[in-house]
Structure 1
Amino acid sequence: MLEGRRSSTFSRLLRHGFTDPAAAERLLDSPQLTGVRNDLVLLEALGATADPDLALLGLVRLAEALDDAERHTLLDTLITAKPLRDRLLGVLGASEALGDHLARHPRDWHSLVTYESTDLHPGVTDFELALRDGMAAVTRQTGATAQNALRAAYRRCLLAIAARDVCGTSGLAETAGELADLATATLRAALAIATEEAPADAAACRLAVIAMGKAGGHELNYVSDVDVIFVAETPDGVEEPAALQAATRLAARMMRVCSETTAEGRIWDVDANLRPEGKNGPLVRTLTSHLAYYRRWAKTWEFQALLKARPVAGDDELGAAYLDAVTPMVWQAADREHFVTDVQEMRRRVVDNIPAAHVDRELKLGPGGLRDVEFAVQLLQLVHGRTDASLRSGTTLTALRQLAEGGYVGRADAASLDAAYRFLRSMEHRIQLYRLRRTHLVPEDEADLRRLGRSLARVCGWGRGVDPVERLGREWRRHAREVRRLHEKLFYRPLLDAFAQLEPGAVRLSPDAARQRLEALGYQDPAAALRHLEALASGVSRKAAIQRTLLPVMLGWFADSADPDAGLLGFRKVSDALGRTPWYLRLLRDEGAAAENLARVLSAGRLAPDLLLRAPEAVALLGDPEGLRPRGLTALCQEVRAAVSRAGDAEAAVTAVRGVRRRELFRTAAADLTGAFHPEQDPGAAVDAVGTAVSDLTTATVAGALQAAVHAVGGGDPLPTRIAVIGMGRFGGHELGYGSDADVLFVHEPLDGVAEPDASRVALKVVNELRRLLQIPTADPPLIIDADLRPEGKSGPLVRSLASYAAYYRRWSLGWESQALLRAEPAAGDEELAARFLELVDPLRYPADGLTDEAVREIRRLKARMEAERLPRGADPTTHTKLGRGGLSDVEWTVQLLQMRHGREITGLRTTRTRQALAAAHEAGLVDAEDAATLDEAWVLATRVRNAVMLVRGRPGDTFPGDGRELAAVGRHLGYGPGRVGEMLDDYRRTTRRARAVVERLFYEYEA
């Protein structure tokens, strides 16, 4: 029976987090806990602490140190008052050192009882009062010296801070601020003790204490050296040497009050090594001496340290004068030669000096540690704080927030750094709190890690059932990786010296030197480039601040293009258009891909920038991971139909449709220019993606224009005829390029009871209105509707009825018309009518008996005639992408001949797409693998060249540009780097020459 109860007790204790249930049971049975040992509330509260075993031991020790009456009061309050229970047990479970303090000063538990809102976040004045009262109480009770009384009173205050911390009442920033305020109050108390001990020295000098480091930054640790600088002045009637000697004695005495170890331990070391000349310099200097040193001898790191300077004790007027005098020097430090590299090198030296055995455990100094955050923040502060006074806080998290608010750090980056810094500092605090020792090393012992993990679980919201050791390690590694990544991104952000001189106060380069740097980067007009930079980045506005962080990187991206000047000019134009739009610069700063994509788009040619400048808000597409994925036909048609329905008239409707077309054409061009279609992996797939996207967009545009035209002609009433638009040529083949016309046929069919002439007149009005709407002048790339492939060509009716088409094709159809119909595919309008049209033309394009010899000869004659008559005079037939040797026409006519010959029996050939038909011919054994690959490669390359020419020049062309810069830009788009234009042309000629040889065999030697 007894064994069973013991087993049950052990299980219960284990369940509540005790690791030594036997010891816990003995402690619970101790007489000091009589009356509460079986209280489930107490047991659960102990189980919620970082270390239940430690908390229980500390509670028993505290109870032992109290007299009976006081002990009963404690235990009764502990059970009935949850705030005290959480605070007292939370501290006892997290800090062995504070448990020791309570065992020595047991009545200090009363400091944890109060739980009012005014008690939550005390300031310096509150701590001064608490220290004074605490010292008086200790002296009265024990007769302790002032020095020991200060130590005891300090620990009592620390006890309350730790209680708020471990219970989550105070966050990291509040806790660090309270510790700094307590340090300020303690320095003042220590100076008061020193003054009482040596009143003559105090009277012979004016002494100010300047806090530095984390104390100055209002972000102190539990156990940390308190860095200070002493500055003195001479009172009237005292010689300076005597005053400095007195001030030095007073300062040294104050330091000893805090740093000496006594029966009550010590508070912390007061470290004055950040003073001029460090340990080798005098402990105390006059203000004049300080300034003389900083002006002549100070190193970069000393100004970085002064960023956190804050007067905390002694002569207030002198402290304020010191701060006023050194602050301008701090914010001029970034003007020093090699400033950035000096700061970066100092950080590297810190890492290099960490003992190898400690690197992986070092929370503060190691890679991904607290110093990475602090150095990155301080560097950005010192660079940008010269002109932006809002960035001058000495507190890391405040400064980080200010950098984000000012646009110097992205919101997402700032949020990640903030979260990581809070987590790492919280780890550091809890490690130090355990024994109140100055350390930044993560423990290796399993019990220490467990206590640390459990202590963070509440503030991090990890919840129950989580292995605290495993979760601690995972979260620590995650935050450290993120800190290191962002440190590298921010701390080593590329800053071009050629641009640095544009910032007010920066004098690193003369304008001539800056022009030389820009010229070396490839800018043909560096003077214009400098004007653009000045316009973009001068001033102290948030917009200018963000531009100063963007431009150094973007200048490099522009420089990697064939036309850096065009890229920078385009960027200025887009920035001018969108500069007042709050999301624009944030997008470029926060989304790394957006800025790089924009730089590539703006410096790669004219088409995409022209589209963008017509609708600058399309920049947003560049920052969305899905933004460069072309939208499908269904989505486009839905958007266009909705836009037309909302419009007030036909012209407004087509204006809306053109807006969609402009945006989507930019989306496709941007995807093409930035490599989103991955042409280096599969050029053919990239070409198909562009062709499909542009063809779908054209289909939606024509459908929208047709909808608007129908409504304009019919006035909202039903028309007497149905109308369909049939895509032809590259449009029907889903192979449109950026500058392609849209070849179409218009077909209509009268409704029952409507005379064909009446129906034809209405259909013609609709088609003419459609063409008029799409031909209204605009700055956008035109969409030319070409209906010349209709029966009788330009001489025939623009629109025919289905019956008229049937009659014509039955009696008059020519071979070229049948060949053209190979690309016929429904585009817009009545779907059932379009399907019947295709049924009508299928026998023409896929003749049941194939082609006669005469038909083949006719196709060859037409091809030869086209080559002779339509190739522009003076054009190089070896580089003309459409009609030249081995170009698009060669490949397409060869494939179409195979389609007409075998399409009736080979289903795969019945497609409007060239590459699919070629693949089907190979699969059917009509073309061997090598020939098919040769033709496909040539067709893809010629298509890519045509698209590249349109992207670069902003207008269509079938030949390589004659302008050297444009030719180089085409080469860049095709994957040929600087100086490889000749290689590109050689590759094109070789590829098309091989294709022509295949065409000679398959097309000209073909026998039906």
Structure 2
Amino acid sequence: MTAPGRRSSTFTRLLRHGFTDPSAAERLLDSAELALLRDDPVLLEALGATADPDLALRGLVRLLEAQPGPIAQRELLDTVIAAKPLRDRLLGVLGASAALADHLARHPSDWQALVMYEPRDLHPEVEEFELGLAEATDPVSLRVAYRRCLLSIAARDVCGTTDVAQTAAELADLATATLRAALAIARTAAPEDAALCRLAVIAMGKCGGHELNYVSDVDVIFVGEAVEGADEGKALRSATRLASHMMRICSETTVEGTIWPVDANLRPEGRNGPLVRSLSSHLAYYQRWAKTWEFQALLKARPVAGDIELGEEYVAALEPLVWKAAERENFVPDVQKMRRRVVENIPLTELDRQLKLGPGGLRDVEFAVQLLQLVHGRADTALRSGTTLDALQALAAGGYVGRADAAQLDAAYRFLRSMEHRIQLYRLRRTHLVPESDDDLRRIGRSLGLRTDPVAELNREWKRHATVVRRLHEKLFYRPLLDAVAQLAPGEARLSAEAARERLVALGYGDPAAALRHLEALASGVTRKAAIQRTLLPVLLGWFADSADPDAGLLNFRKVSDALGKTPWYLRLLRDEGAAAENLARVLSAGRLAPDLLMRAPEAVALLGDGDGGGLDPRPRAHLEQEILAAVGRAEGAVQAVTAARGVRRRELFRTAAADIVDSYGTETKPAEADQGALVDRVGAAVSDLNAATLAGTLRAVVREGWGDTLPTRFAVIGMGRFGGHELGYGSDADVLFVHEPREGVAEQEASEAANKVVSEMRRLLQVPSADPPLLIDADLRPEGKSGPLVRTLNSYGAYYRRWSLVWESQALLRAEAVAGDEELGRRFIELIAPLRYPAEGLGDDAVREIRRLKARMETERMPRGADPKLHTKLGPGGLSDVEWTVQLLQLQHGWAEPGLRTTRTREALAAACAAELIPAEEAATLDEAWVLATRVRNAVMLVRGRAGDTFPSDGRELAAVGRYLGYEPGHVGDMLDAYRRTTRRARAVVEELFYGA
């Protein structure tokens, strides 16, 4: 027994040396196996230097217990006491890896693999590892030999004999030797297959790049050829059997566990393609079918096993294609999309702990470096390295990345890879998640030399490096473009004009010379403004490049900056509120309408940065009307009053368009909304409310100018069509009816003259040439159409509708709603028309036939000549007209009995018809989807072209911009058109059944 005093002293020393369970450690030190070392201060000091002293001590006791007898135990103890290098290596491994401690307990003599300390042992290469695996003749012995070699790599790693890059290279070399040994075993098992074929194993990914993890899939591609005189088909089948056997040898679990999975899914066609192809088959695939990411993957291709000569032929044949990948259409967006997809697939519960795939993780570094390599490696062969850190160093040396940025990125990558190595080393499990327990974090932190407060220090350093990576990932591809045009410090690396041009072309800029001029104008000089622009532009350039028209985005940004450059809040807003800068970039590169609106009042940029986006929320109609009426009241005359009202309308149209673009494209902090119907409803309601408030202000201005406070007749504006339905688009006219009623004591002729003058003045003032977008009033839905009077009394409307009204007028009145003027008169008009639009007992057969006849005639006569009917959003099959007429027929037939159908809004009426079981839910959903899509297309066309249109644009860039608004990535406009045709085709089938009774 140990005396209490000594126990207390030992307990204190154990705490001081970093043990977290000193009581258990005392018991282990009192064991018979450690009797000779119980009081040895050297042992405690060596244990205290490990990542986890408790784990190291337990592992040492287990290793001693596993020795075959006292002599072997004494030999081990004597060696540990006498040989500091061995002591540090052995205890270092035991304190960092429970899995390798398990291996040593199963194979107690393998500790002697750590005794050697010769130059070749310090930095072994493939040949040394092959010697270490030479005696393996089956999967079990291969695993034992593999772990023995891994033991020596881990020992050098945890003792700092090798750095993280050397460790990763050694792991890749060990993987190479293991693949060769596994293939040799497979060949021995099937000599007849080996005799028929040449088989080359091409390492990909981290193994190919000489930067492997402790535990990782080893990515490979197989190339096979027939030996001379052999049948090619038989040879490829033989090669496939050899490759499959080799993969099983490495991947399958045995009594000694597994080595690592061999993954061949990077091959052409992935897991659906043949495992082994001939060289010519590989080449044909990459020339015709390969995607951008497949060329990016080939950056790291390296022959490692089998027929090395054939492997080198493979790499040489594909190399020219790899370095032409940046010339492919949508190259940069494809690479960026793949990176985004990786992040999107991370479970939310893991996002904050993902060391590899999360924002600021290892993949951010690798993607940025590979992107730059593919763009500039075409002309600069010095950049063609498969190893991330070597490639980063070459990019810095060539001036493609600033030296300071490269140094920061190098340091961050090394730290993150070191964390990843130590996490995996503990259990030898494939993971990239930072553990959550303090014990695990403490062990990792101590293994990285953080000893004062390992957990807090580790978290702090990890977050710091991740922040650096995220920032540099965002700017790395774009910053050197500014360096090409900005004034740099003497001796600082500078991207050449040609390299800058190449990078802009790869990003999708059609006029790189103009883009460079814009950058020079924005970022050159030593002013504070230029300095802030140099901070903003790298990220903005990336957002512009993510659009269908990067050139327009950059040009518009220059225009806005020129207009607001002297405004103190502008650049500060963009710099300090990340959402404002990203929102602005999206808006400026999404088409013509929003930038045009912004250029007329650049101060509206402030709307983009209001807190978390609240500045883009549509304002209620009452607030809009209040502001417009106040502006009208301050104006000196009607012209100035309407100008002020149109100014408010312009700003609010920009607010609505900007919100629509931001929510449709989404941002890094705010993904695109999935509910497209909600986006359509918001735009329709916002524009309708805005036009109603503008008409109210115009009416107030006209009345005040001509009559002072009171008009001789009560006057109301009735919204019709999309206006009454709260479904206006950006370019829609305002369909209206005008109604008046003479005030008491006013002659009808005087009242009529006043009402007609009001209508005439409203139309004139709203059409006065101006920089503001026009608001066109269309009154053609009035009784007698263009031949009838523009304005009638309420009684006149009543008389007309009683005597002359046709069924189409009843249909048109379904969407009538009072929007401006005398509220009480507007309400009475709506009451007047109720029996017409919701006729008692519904419609008769003759009326239904008449509606169908009118619809068929409209389809035939109004379709523009040369237009593709299947892509016409309004009149085409399954388009807006089809859906609206079908819904309106249901309203006319059943509105008298179903209160839910008594609404002016199409989607609301459709939902009510479904709820009333007048239309099956599936068919209602089909019609709703088609209506929403057609409306979105019309809005997109207006946003992109700056003018209204009912068909998809014919210009390729405009069509791509419509696609981006609708959620399609660059290069997928064909998918967009196919989806539109498919959606409207399904809707037309429903219309044929419900409307035409087919």
What TM-score do the two structures reach when normalised by structure 1? 0.54
Hey, what's the Cα distance between the residues in 2 that align with 1:647 and 1:756?
Answer: 31
- Residue 1003 (structure 1) aligned with residue 991 (structure 2): no
Aligned counterpart, 1:684: 677
Paired residue for 2:580? 594
- Give deviations 1:631-665, integer Å, cap 9, x for gaps: 11111111111111111111111111111111111
Maintained 8 Å contact 1:653/1:708 = yes
Q: Does 1:538 align with 2:531?
A: no
Q: Which runs of 5+ in 2 are unaligned?
A: 1-396, 424-448
Once the 2 structures are TM-superposed, how far is the Cα of residue 339 of structure 1 from its aligned partner?
3.8
1:925 deviates by: 1.2
Aligned to 2:699: 706
Task: State the one-letter code of the partner of 2:958.
Answer: E
The superposition leaves residues 711-748 of structure 1 with CA deviations (integer Å, 9 ceiling, x where unpaired) of 1121x242111100000000000000111000000001
Give 1:348 shift.
5.6
The residue that corresponds to 1:617 in the other structure is: 603
Work out the percentage of aligned pairs sharing the same amino acid. 70
Give the letter for the 1:848 counterpart: A
Task: Say if 1:885 and 1:993, in contact at 8 Å, map to a contact too.
Answer: yes
CA RMSD of aligned residues (A): 2.7
Note the C-alpha offset of 1:346.
4.0
Residues 660-739 of structure 1 mapped to structure 2, 5 A cutoff: 660-675=648-663, 680-714=673-707, 716-739=708-731
1:535 maps to amino acid: A
Q: CA deviation at 1:350?
A: 7.1
* Alignment partners' CA distance in 2, 1:350 and 1:879: 54
Amino acid at match of 2:499: A
Using the alignment, how far apart are the partners of 1:891 and 1:571 within structure 2?
40
Match of 1:553 among 513, 525, 539: 539
d(CA) in 2 for partners of 1:578 and 1:946? 32
For 1:644, which of 623, 632, 639 is the aligned residue?
A: 632
Q: How far is 1:498 from its partner?
A: 2.7
Q: Structure 1: how far apart are the matches of 2:580 and 2:901? A: 42
Q: Distance in 2 between matches of 1:913 and 1:682?
A: 18
Matching residue of 2:754: 762
1:685 counterpart letter in structure 2 = A
Task: Map residues 791-810 of structure 1 onto 2, 5 A cutoff.
Answer: 791-810=783-802
Deviations 1:104-133 (A, max 9, x none): xxxxxxxxxxxxxxxxxxxxxxxxxxxxxx
Say whether the 8 Å CA contact 1:949–1:957 is kept in structure 2.
yes
Q: Deviations over 1:785-844 (max 9, x none)?
A: 101101111111111111111111111111111110000001001100000000100001
Out of 635, 638, 661, the residue aligned to residue 623 of structure 2 is 635
- Opposite residue 523 of structure 1, the aligned amino acid is Y
Distance 2:776 2:472 in 1: 53
Cα distance in 2 for partners of 1:333, 1:870 equals 62
Residues 753 and 513 of structure 1: is their aligned pair in 2 closer, same or farther, counting only changes over 3 Å?
same
State the one-letter code of the partner of 1:726: I
The TM-score, its normalising length taken from structure 2, stands at 0.54
Q: 2:403 maps to what in 1?
A: 338
- 1:509 match: secondary structure: coil
Measured against aligned partners, the alpha-carbon deviations of 1:376-434 in whole angstroms (never above 9, x if no partner) come to: xxxxxxxxxxxxxxxxxxxxxxxxxxxxxxxxxxxxxxxxxxxxxxxxxxxxxxxxxxx
Is 1:974 the equivalent of 2:957?
no
Residues 819 and 440 of structure 1, relative CA distance in 2, 3 Å threshold: same
Are 1:333 and 1:339, in contact at CA under 8 Å, matched by a contact in 2?
no
Structure 1 contact 679–686 (Cα < 8 Å) conserved:
no
Cα 1:801–1:580 shift into 2, 3 Å: same
Query: In 1, Cα distance between the equivalents of 2:399 and 2:483?
Result: 10
CA deviations over 1:154-175 (Å, ceiling 9, x no partner)? xxxxxxxxxxxxxxxxxxxxxx
Distance in structure 2 (CA, Å) of the matches to 1:876 and 1:351:
56
Q: 852, 858, 874: which one pairs with 2:850?
A: 858
Distance 1:852 1:550, change over 3 A: same
Query: Paired residue for 1:508, among 491, 494, 504?
Result: 494
In structure 2, relative to structure 1, the CA distance for the partners of 1:797 and 1:334 (3 Å cut) is same
Q: Does structure 2 retain, via aligned residues, the 8 Å contact 1:334–1:340?
A: no
1:470-510 Cα distance to aligned partner (Å, 9 max, x none) = xxx99x99998986675555566514323322222355222
AA matched with 2:618: P
Q: Which amino acid aligns with 1:664?
A: E
For residues 667 and 814 of structure 1, do their structure 2 counterparts lie closer, same or farther at Cα, with a shift above 3 Å needed? same
The change in CA–CA distance for 1:342 and 1:918 in structure 2 (over 3 A counts) is: same
Query: Does the 8 A contact of 1:644 with 1:704 survive in 2?
Result: yes
- The 1:489–1:581 alpha-carbon spacing in structure 2 relative to 1, beyond 3 Å, is farther
From 881, 885, 888, the equivalent of 1:889 is: 881
Matches within 5 A, 1:171-320: none
Displacement after TM superposition at 1:753 (Å): 1.3
The verdict on how the C-alpha distance between 1:731 and 1:481 changes in structure 2, with shifts beyond 3 A counting, is farther
Q: Which residue of 2 aligns with 1:53?
A: none
- Whole-angstrom CA distance in 1 between matches of 2:651 and 2:469: 36
CA drift of 1:761 comes to: 0.5
Which residue of 915, 921, 927 maps to 2:907?
A: 915
Does the 8 A contact of 1:915 with 1:936 survive in 2? yes
Within the candidate set 940, 961, 965, 2:957 is matched to 965
Q: For the structure 1 residues 882 and 805, does the alpha-carbon distance in structure 2 shift closer, same or farther, using more than 3 Å as the test?
A: same
What is the CA–CA distance in structure 2 between the aligned matches of 1:735 and 1:907, rounded to whole Å? 21
Distance 1:1001 1:666 in 2: 41
Equivalent residues, number: 565
Opposite residue 500 of structure 1, the aligned amino acid is D
Q: Distance in 1 between matches of 2:466 and 2:564?
A: 30
* C-alpha separation in 1, matches of 2:416 and 2:459: 20
Which amino acid is the alignment partner of residue 621 of structure 2?
A: L
Cα deviation, 1:501-521, whole Å, max 9, x if unaligned, reads 222235522212211111111
**Could you say if the C-alpha distance between residues 829 and 542 of structure 1 is closer, same or farther in structure 2, counting changes exceeding 3 Å?**
same
Aligned residue for 1:826, secondary structure, equals strand
Q: What are structure 1's unaligned runs of at least 5 residues?
A: 1-331, 359-438, 445-472
Contact 1:709 / 1:767 at 8 angstroms: preserved in 2?
no
Distance 1:749 1:847, change over 3 A: same
Decide whether aligned partners of structure 1 residues 906 and 521 sit closer, same or farther in structure 2, where only a CA change above 3 A counts: same
| Inter-CA distance 548–708: structure 2 relative to 1 (3 Å threshold) | same
* 1:208 corresponds to: none
Would the alpha carbon gap of residues 596 and 640 (structure 1) be closer, same or farther in structure 2, given more than 3 Å must change? same
Residue identity matched to 2:656:
T
| Structure 2 residue matching 1:878: 3-state secondary structure | helix
8 Å CA contact 2:482–2:520 kept in 1: the answer is: no
Partner AA of 2:823 in structure 1: E
CA distance in 1 between counterparts of 2:884 and 2:932 reads 11
Counterpart selection for 2:482 from 492, 499, 510? 499
Q: Distance in 1 between matches of 2:711 and 2:412?
A: 78
Contact conserved, 1:713 with 1:765, CA < 8 A, in 2? no
Structure whose alpha-carbon radius of gyration is higher: 1
The alpha carbon displacement at 1:990 in A equals 1.0
- 2: CA distance between counterparts of 1:615 and 1:822? 38
Contact residue 501 and residue 507 of structure 1 kept, 8 A: no
